Amino acid sequence: MTGRALIVVDVQKDFCEGGKVPVPGGAEQARALRDLVKERAGDTYVRVVATRDHHIDPGDHFSEDPDFENSFPEHCLAGSDGAEFHPDFEPVVTSGAVDEVFFKGAHSASKSGFEGITAEGEALGDWLRAQGVDTVDVVGLTTDHCVKATALGGVRDGFGVRVLLDHTTGVAHDSTARALDEMRLAGVELTGTPVVQA
């Protein structure tokens, strides 16, 4: 059995308006992703998963003088309100439409969902393969950071990877353009139009 899974990346309060490192349009994307999961879970996808930044002590990933590439202001601290899913996305998690949640970045930057683990410690790639998944669609926040890293991580882990750009939001035009080039070069399939409201 082979199938396609949807990976929804980091739709958390700290990455949406009002959060510690907000992305313009993040809340709007949270609602769109909720609707995407509702429409396609169990139909287009054999499994739907979500990733969450879950920082405990990520070292120099947190900085008082961040470069917004490798270092950022403190965000998504484990147990904090900002680390929770955005309230417009949360209902599809609690309803069971999202099959599993993967936590990443406890003690490192860990931008890629493929560095994430379940609450029981199972890695995303291992979990997907056990579910019969060989290809993934990646969506979420943000195109130029954790979506890119997750897509590249999926390629490295042997999955066919597609990014649905209509369902990702980027931080800035230049960094999003660089991310698209990097993903194309790695063999990631890109569909739709990048969303950048900055």
In angstroms, the CA 62 to CA 69 distance is 11
Q: Which two tokens stand for residue 183?
A: 């993903």
Q: How far apart are the first and last CA of the chain?
A: 42
Taking Cα atoms as reference points, which of 193, 142, 113 lies closest to residue 24? Answer: 142
In angstroms, the CA 79 to CA 5 distance is 28
The total number of residues written for the chain in this structure: 198
Q: Which two tokens stand for residue 150?
A: 């997750």
Annotated catalytic residues are 10, 104, 146
18 Cα distance to chain centroid: 19
In angstroms, the CA 149 to CA 140 distance is 12
Q: Which two tokens stand for residue 119?
A: 């609450």
Q: Quote the crossing angle between the two packed helices 148-156 and 173-185, to the nearest 10°.
A: 10
